[in-house]
Structure 1
Amino acid sequence: MKNNLLDAFLTNWISLLVSAILIGLLYVLARKRVNFGYRVLLALGLGLVAGIFFNTFKIDATSVGTIGTIYVNLVKMLVIPLVFVLVITSITSISSLGQLRKIGIKTISLFLVTTGIAALIGLLVALAFDPGAGISQTMPSSFKPRDIPTFSQVILDLIPTNPISDMAGGKVVPVLVFAFFVAIAIVHVGTKKPEAVKPVKQVIDSFTQVMHQVTKYIIRLTPYGVYALIATMAAKYGLETLAPLAKVIAATYVALIIHFIFTFGGLVTFVAKVNPFKFFRKAYPTIAIAFTTRSSYVTLPVNLEVITKRLRVSPRIASFVAPLGATMNMNGCGGVWPAVVAIFVARVYNIPLGITEYVLLVLVSMISSIGVAGVPGPASISTTVVLTALGLPIEGLGLVLAIDAVVDMGRTAVNATGTTVCALLVANSEGEFDRESFNRDEEDQLELNHT
C-alpha cells in the first residue's frame, strides 16, 4: 500500500515537472508573440505527446488535470455577466426606435434566423456523423442529471421570474431574455429622454469594456488549458481515444459548407434574385480575409468595401449592417459549432437528448449568439451557454478546445459571409441595392485598399 502511494506521489510529480517545462515553452512562445492559433495547435500536440507518455509509463496526471479544471471554471465564471452586458450593448447600438423597427428588426431577424438554420444544420450533421463515438468520459462528480422537461416547461423556463436569482443560479436563457427587454427599454426611453438613459449606458459600456478585458485574460490561458485537458485525457485513455476528434472537425466543416452553399446561396438566389456565383466571386475578399485572420473585426473594413463597392449596397445600409454583423452575426461560432459540440458532449458522457433538447439547442443558439459575439473566444462562450442550457457538463468543452483553431477559420469565414448576405438582403428590401451596377463585370476589377 505504501509503495503504491509512493509511486503515485512520485509519478504525479513527474507529470507536473514535465508539464511545467512544456507550459514554460508555451509561455516563452507567447512572450515572443508567436501567433495565438499556432500556440493552441502546439499545445494540442504537446498535450497529446505528454499524455501518451504518461499513459505508456503509467504516470499519474491528476494534478495536471487540475490545471485544465481551473481553466474550465474560469470560463464558467464569465458566462452570466458577459452575455448580460453584451446583449444590451449590441441592441442599444441602434440609435432610435424608428431605426430599430425598420432596418434594425430586419437585420437582427436575419442574423437570428440564419444562426438558427446553422444550428439546425450543425445538429443534423452531428447526429449523422456521431463524432463522440469511441470516446467515453466519467461524469464529473459535481454534475447532476437534469430531468427532461415538457415542451411547455421549456418555453416557461425561457421567461425570467427573478433575474437576480436566475443569475445566481446560472440560468443563462432567462438572463438573456431579461437583458433583451432592458436593451429595448433603453432604446425606447433614449428616443424621448436621452439624458435619462445616458448614465445607464455609460455604466454598461464601462462594464462591457471591463468584461472584455477579463475575457482577454482568460482566453490568453487557452493554450495552457488545452495542454492540460488533452494531456489528462490522453494519459487516461491513450491515443486511440483522441482519434474520433477528427470526426468533430469533419462534421463541423461539412455543416459549415452546407450552410454556406445552401443557406447563403439560397437566400442570395431566391430572395435577393442575384446570381450566387457572381455574388460569391465578388464577396471573395471578405471570405479570404475572414478565413486567414479568424477575426470578424479585422475583416470589417474589407467587408464594408466589398458590400458598398463590389456588391453595390448603399453606404447607409452597409455602415449599419456590417458593424452590427461583426458583433452579432455568428452563424459559424454561435450556430454550427455549439450544435456539433453539444451532440459530441452528450455522446461522450452518455447523456440522452430528445426532440425537446434539440429544439432548445436551436433556440438557445439563436438567442445567445447575439450576446457573445465580437468578444475574444466567442465560440467557446456561446458553446458554454448552450451546454449550460441543455444541462450538459461544461467539462466536455475542454475536449474540443484543442481543435478550436482548426475549425475557427471556417467558422469565421461563414460568420463574415453571413453578414455580407444579410446586408444584401436588407438593402434589396429597402430599395438600396444597385442591381444594374452589381451586374457589371468591370466591378470585379475594383481594388480594395484594405486588402
Structure 2
Amino acid sequence: MDINIKLILAIIASLVAVYVVYIVNKKTGKRSTATLVALGLGLIIGIVFKGNIPFLKVVGKGYMSLIKMVVIPLVMTSIITSLVRFKNIETLKSIGFKAVGLLLGTTGIAAVIGIVIGKIFNVGAGFVFTGAGDFTAREIPALTDVILGFLPANVIASIADGQIIPVVVFSIFVAIALVIEDNKNPDKIKAFKDFILSTYEIVMSITRIVLKFIPYGVFGLIATAASNNGLDTILSLATVVAAVYVACLLQILLVHTPLISGVARRNPIKFFGDIFPAMLLAFTSQSSYGTLPVTIDSLVNRAKVKDEVASFTASLGSTMGMNACGGLYPAIVAIFVAQVFNIDLTMYHYILIVATTIVGSIGIAGVPGAATMSTTVVLSVLGLPLEGMAMVMAVDAVIDMARTATNVTGAAVSALVVDETEKRKEAKLVRN
C-alpha cells in the first residue's frame, strides 16, 4: 500500500497550526488576533503543501456552509426587526435613499478608478490569447426578467434557492404591514411581533456561536486558496492581479476613508479596526453574502452603528452596489480585453462602462463568482469579445479576495455614514 508522506505531513502540520490558533485565541481572548494568525499559517501551509491538503477544503467550505446557514434567517428577521423599530416612516425613507445612493454612487466612482488604473497598468498589452474557445459566457437575462426576479412570486422557493433580493422585498412588505397594523391594532399583532423579535434574538445567538469558529474557517479557506493558486499561475497574470489590488486599495483610501472622516466624522483607522473581522473573512471566503453576519456583528458591537441601520444597509450592500465586483473589476477587465484584442475605446465607451456598472451592480448576489455576471454585462454592452473573460479566470480566486473585502468595506462604510448623518439630524431636531 502506497503511503503519501506529504499528505501525512500536511495533516500533522495542519493540526499543529490549528492548535496554535486555538492557544492564541485562548490566551489573547481576541478573535481577530487568532484569525490573523490563522491567515498567516494557512498561507504557509497552502504554499508548502500545494496539492496535498484536500482535507482543508472541507474545513473552509464547511465553515462557509455554517455561515450561509444563518444568512437567510438573519436577513429576514433583521430587516423586519430593523424596519419595525422605525416609528417614523419619513426616517425610513431617508435611510433607504441614503443607503441606495451611497452604494450605487461609490460603485460608479469605483468604475472610474478601475478605468484609470487599467490604463496606467496597461493591462492586457502584449498578452497572447489562447483557449478562447473553451469559454462559455453566462446567459444575460433581459432587464424585464431581472426586475421580475426581484419580486417574490414564491417566497418559500426564494428562501430555498437562497435568492436574497426577493427575500428582502418580502421582508420589507412584512415590516411595513407590521408598522401599519401596530399603529391600528397593536394588541392583535403583538403575538406575531413578539415572535419575530424572539426569533431574531435566537438567530443572533446562533450567529454568535458560528462566529466563534472564524479563525479555523479562515485557516481552511486561505490554505486551500494558496494550494490551488500557485505562484506560477499568479505570475502569468500579475499585471491584472496587481491592477485590481491597487484599485481596491485606492477605493478604500480615496473613497471610503474620506466618507468616514469627512461625512461620518469618525476616525478611519479606528473604524477599519472595528470592521477588520468582516474584512478578513470577506478576503478569505470571497463571499459578501456569506460575510453578512460578521459585517452586521462588527458594525453593531464594535463600530457602535445602530442595529436597524447596520442590518438594513449591510444586507442591501451584499446584493447591490458592490464597489469591486460591480464597479472597478468589470472596468479593469474591459480595458484588459480591449487591449488584448486591439480594440480602441473612446470616451463614450468609458462613460458607458461607468453607467453599466452602476445599473449592472443592482441585484448581484454576494456569493463567489458574482463578478462574472457583472463583467459579462459590461463586455456585452461595449461589444467586446465575451471569451476574453476566460483569460482572467485562472487568477479569479486570487483577485476575488481583494474584490470581496472591498465590497464589504463599502457596505460597512455606507452603513456608518447613514447612521452618523441620521444621528446628527435627530440631534438637530431635538435642539430645535
Q: Which TM bucket (shorter chain)?
A: 0.5 to 0.7
Letter in 2 for 1:115: L
Map 1:61-80 → 2, pairs under 5 A: 61-80=53-72
Aligned to 2:420: 420
Displacement of 1:383: 3.2
Displacement of 1:332: 11
Letter in 1 for 2:274: T
Output the CA distance in 2 between the equivalents of 1:233 and 1:146: 24
Displacement of 1:188: 0.7
Aligned to 2:47: 52
Output the CA distance in 1 between the equivalents of 2:407 and 2:168: 27
Output the CA distance in 2 between the equivalents of 1:386 and 1:184: 33
Displacement of 1:297: 2.9
Letter in 2 for 1:67: V
Letter in 2 for 1:198: K
Map 1:402-417 → 2, pairs under 5 A: 412=412, 415-417=415-417
In structure 2, stretches of 5+ residues that fail to align are: 125-135, 276-297, 338-352, 376-392
For 1:103, which of 82, 91, 95 is the aligned residue? Answer: 91
For 1:114, which of 86, 93, 102 is the aligned residue? Answer: 102
For 1:253, which of 243, 249, 258 is the aligned residue? Answer: 249
Displacement of 1:221: 2.3
Aligned to 2:363: 364
Q: Deviations over 1:379-418 (max 9, x none)?
A: xxx833994995999xx88986699889978875664244
Displacement of 1:128: 5.7
Aligned to 1:340: 324
Letter in 1 for 2:47: I
Contact in 1 for aligned 2:86/2:92 (Cα 8 Å): yes
* Mapped pair 1:37 → 2:19: no
Contact in 2 for aligned 1:125/1:251 (Cα 8 Å): yes
Letter in 1 for 2:309: G
Task: Using the TM superposition, name which of 219-228 and 284-293 deviates more.
Answer: 284-293
Output the CA distance in 2 between the equivalents of 1:406 and 1:49: 24
Displacement of 1:236: 3.0
Contact in 1 for aligned 2:107/2:327 (Cα 8 Å): no
Q: How many residues are paired up? A: 356
Letter in 2 for 1:105: K
Secondary structure, counterpart of 1:383 in structure 2: coil
Aligned to 1:19: 14
Displacement of 1:35: 2.5
Q: Given the two structures, how large is their TM-score scaled by the length of structure 1? A: 0.64
Q: Deviations over 1:62-111 (max 9, x none)?
A: 1122211212222332232221111111111112xxx21x2331233212
Displacement of 1:161: 0.6
Secondary structure, counterpart of 1:384 in structure 2: coil
> Using a 3 Å threshold, how does the CA distance of structure 1 residues 160 and 400 change in structure 2: closer, same or farther?
same
* Mapped pair 1:147 → 2:130: no
Output the CA distance in 2 between the equivalents of 1:165 and 1:413: 32
Letter in 1 for 2:145: Q
For 2:274, which of 272, 276, 293 is the aligned residue? Answer: 293
Output the CA distance in 1 between the equivalents of 2:96 and 2:215: 34
Q: Given the two structures, how large is their TM-score scaled by the length of structure 2? A: 0.66
Aligned to 2:86: 94
> Using a 3 Å threshold, how does the CA distance of structure 1 residues 23 and 128 change in structure 2: closer, same or farther?
farther
Output the CA distance in 2 between the equivalents of 1:215 and 1:186: 25
Task: Using the TM superposition, name which of 290-299 and 409-418 deviates more.
Answer: 409-418
Aligned to 2:293: none
Instruction: Quote the sequence identity (%).
Output: 22
Letter in 2 for 1:325: V
Displacement of 1:22: 0.3
Displacement of 1:176: 1.1
> Using a 3 Å threshold, how does the CA distance of structure 1 residues 66 and 346 change in structure 2: closer, same or farther?
farther
Displacement of 1:155: 0.6
Contact in 2 for aligned 1:123/1:336 (Cα 8 Å): no
Secondary structure, counterpart of 2:49 in structure 1: helix
Aligned to 2:212: 220
In structure 1, stretches of 5+ residues that fail to align are: 135-143, 266-278, 304-321, 366-381, 436-451
Letter in 2 for 1:259: V
Map 1:251-290 → 2, pairs under 5 A: 251-260=247-256, 264=259, 280=262, 284-285=265-266, 287=268, 289-290=270-271
Displacement of 1:145: 7.8
